[in-house]
A = this chain, B = another copy of it.
Amino acid sequence: MTKPYVRLNKDDAAVLLVDHQTGLLSLVRDIDPDKFKNNVLALADIAEYFKLPTILTTSFEDGPNGPLVPELKAQFPDAPYIARPGQINAWDNEDFVAAVKATGKKQLIIAGVVTEVCVTFPVLSALEEGYEVFVIADASGTFNEMTRNAAWSRMEQAGAQLMTWFGAAGELHRDWRNDVEGLGTLFSNHIPDYRNLMTSYSMLTQGK
């Protein structure tokens, strides 16, 4: 009767980045902008590093919501890019669902803006269809902590697993011996404390 450990597996996972648009980002106030930007780019680096199929989608990018942040567009030039004409829940867009299904993956890693809408809605839809869903909570932002907490509650109740980008990286990598250099660089680029540890270490052991 024990509960199975539903564990992220790099061969089973795809990444969905939902509505990280320049206008919508001004609504995000539950995470400091410097940190939030870092978290989103860290998740993007994870997707690229582990070669996870990645899907980009936006909502009304020609209007006040603004375009997708250019860094994401640049990092995934070949990713399916679904500019939704109106659907608020990305899962209501057939092209988006088709792109998800085309990945052939059963695990979905999702992040977006704002948490209770652009993340929660497709999370609930994907769970209903039987996907294993992992929310990258710190790459998802919203108006305030109350809004976030309510969104988390709803996703938890439905069976989503709440993670943050660092945990996802660790669970996907499994073993440092798979590539010390690569993961270390990723951490160094996104965790100032870790970068400092590496610099100190390197200075003492290699003199530079």
Which residues of A are interface residues toward B (Cβ below 8 A)? 2-5, 7, 22-23, 25-27, 29, 31-38, 59-60, 63-67, 69-70, 85-89, 92, 114, 116-117, 120-121, 124-125, 127-130, 137-138, 143-144, 146-147, 149-154, 156-159, 161-164, 166-167, 170-171, 173-178, 191-201, 203-205
Contacts and interface: CB of A to CB of B under 8 A. Distances in A.
A177 to B, nearest CB: 4
Given A5-B125, A67-B200, A174 B25 contact: no
Nearest to A153: B162
Contact of A129 (B2, B124, B149): B2
A73 B167 CA distance: 27
Nearest to A131: B2
A125 B6 CA distance: 10
Contacts of A177: 85-86
Contacts of A144: 32
B166 A114 contact: yes
A161 to B, nearest CB: 5
A66 B197 CA distance: 9
